[in-house]
């Protein structure tokens, strides 16, 4: 084999190397052509552009001032007057929903309205006659003062929700009054009126005005507006025939005292009088005194 004789693989490698060198040369020439100042000059140019940024002047928006009706002005007119686009959209939405500006002062409600805008535009607001609210004449055709029936109806006191309170010397029956009558008592509203009626049903009727203070949170001094009413309104419990549930529901008996009565009836026999309660473990003299008007022994 000759010394200068080469194989096919060697020739292929030489070709590839030549192509690579040619590409490197082309890239270098193109870069030189695009950036003739070199990398140093490019960096200097970038540094200068950052240090002193360029500002582009924009045309200042001109605002005009002239008479206008906010109920009829279109978007072009509103923009010329200085309204911002979001304000124009708000005005259009308001009018589309049936809203109208009845007085010049109504324009102040437009979102984004500033004192500067209002001082400039306020004197130029012109509301057409058809958009202004109707003001009825003070007198009728016969010359009589006009009575505003609608105003009377709308301002009339709601005596159901806000009943007229009792005045000095007036009272209501504690055992007969419903919630509407009880709400006339100064200091008593719907809640306490319901509580008074509810406790009356649980007791079987009130035998003393002082029993009102057994209701939690009851305002003091309400007794002066009440009377007991008819004593016949008191509903008594037949101790010897009442069921356990009937005994338990009474506020002065509840579970333990009702159980004592129930056990006595089944173990000893019927109770003969109020004195038999003194033999039971959960009854004190105060309990017996409070219960006496509500019990009967048959």
Instruction: Give pLDDT tens digits for 74-115.
Output: 999 999 999 999 999 999 999 999 999 999 999 999 998 999
Q: How confident is the model at residue 2 (pLDDT cuts 50, 70, 90)?
A: very low
pLDDT value of position 150:
57
Predicted confidence (pLDDT) at residue 198 exceeds the cutoff of 90:
yes
User: Is the pTM of the predicted complex or chain greater than 0.85?
Assistant: no
Residue 295 forms beta bridges with which residues?
Answer: 237
| Alpha-carbon span 31 to 37, nearest angstrom | 10
| Domains of the chain, residue spans | 75-131, 172-233, 237-296
Q: Kindly tell me if the per-residue pLDDT of 241 is higher than 80.
A: yes
Q: Establish whether domains 172-233 and 237-296 are of one fold.
A: yes
Q: How far apart are CA 87 and CA 74, in angstroms?
A: 12
pLDDT-derived band at 1, boundaries 50, 70, 90: very low
Confidence at residue 155, expressed as pLDDT on a 0 to 100 scale: 56
Considering the segment(s) 237-296 as one domain, its CATH architecture is Orthogonal Bundle (1.10)
Considering the chain, what percentage of its residues have pLDDT values greater than 90?
59
Which pLDDT band holds residue 49 (cuts at 50, 70, 90)? low
Average pLDDT, integer, range 23-39: 68
d(CA 257, CA 283): 7
Q: How confident is the model at residue 229 (pLDDT cuts 50, 70, 90)?
A: confident
State the CATH architecture for 172-233. Orthogonal Bundle (1.10)
In tens, the pLDDT along 120-179 reads 999 999 999 999 988 766 666 676 766 665 555 555 555 656 678 888 889 999 999 999
| Cβ within 8 Å of residue 207, ≥6 positions away | 228, 234, 293, 294
Task: Report pLDDT for 13.
Answer: 77
Q: Would you say residue 3 has pLDDT above 50? A: no
Lookup: tokens for 65: 């001032």
Please tell me the distance from the alpha carbon of residue 279 to that of residue 142, in angstroms, as a whole number.
Answer: 87
Report the C-alpha gap between 103 and 132 in whole angstroms. 7
What tens digit of pLDDT does each residue of 263-273 get? 999 999 999 99
Residue 177 has a CB neighbour count (10 Å cut-off) of 21
Mean pLDDT, the chain, whole residue set = 83
**Looking at residue 124, what is its pLDDT?**
93
Band (274; pLDDT cuts 50, 70, 90): very high
């Amino acid at each position: 084999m000759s010394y200068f004789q080469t194989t096919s693989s060697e020739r292929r490698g030489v070709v590839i190397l030549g192509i690579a060198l040619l590409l490197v040369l082309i890239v270098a020439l193109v870069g030189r052509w695009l950036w003739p100042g070199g990398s140093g000059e490019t960096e200097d140019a970038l540094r200068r552009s950052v240090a002193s940024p360029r500002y582009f002047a924009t045309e200042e928006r001109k605002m005009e001032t002239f008479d206008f009706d906010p109920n009829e002005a279109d978007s072009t007119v509103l923009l010329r007057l200085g309204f911002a686009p979001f304000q124009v959209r708000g005005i259009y939405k308001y009018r589309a929903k049936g809203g109208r500006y009845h007085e010049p002062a109504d324009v102040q409600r437009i979102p984004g309205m500033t004192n500067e805008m209002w001082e400039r535009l306020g004197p130029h607001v012109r509301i057409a006659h058809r958009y202004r609210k109707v003001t009825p004449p003070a007198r009728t055709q016969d010359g009589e003062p006009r009575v505003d029936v609608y105003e009377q109806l709308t301002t009339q006191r709601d005596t159901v929700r806000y009943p007229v309170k009792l005045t000095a010397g007036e009272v209501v029956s504690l055992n007969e009054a419903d919630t509407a009558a009880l709400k006339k008592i100064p200091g008593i509203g719907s809640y306490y009126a319901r509580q008074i009626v509810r406790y009356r049903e649980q007791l079987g009727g009130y035998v003393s005005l002082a029993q009102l203070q057994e209701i939690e949170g009851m305002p003091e001094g309400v007794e002066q507006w009440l009377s007991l009413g008819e004593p016949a309104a008191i509903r008594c419990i037949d101790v010897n025939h009442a069921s356990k549930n009937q005994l338990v529901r009474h506020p002065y008996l509840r579970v333990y005292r009702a159980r004592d009565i129930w056990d006595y009836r089944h173990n000893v026999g019927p109770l003969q009088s109020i004195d038999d309660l003194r033999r039971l473990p959960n009854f004190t003299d105060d309990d017996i005194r409070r219960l006496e008007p509500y019990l009967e022994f048959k």
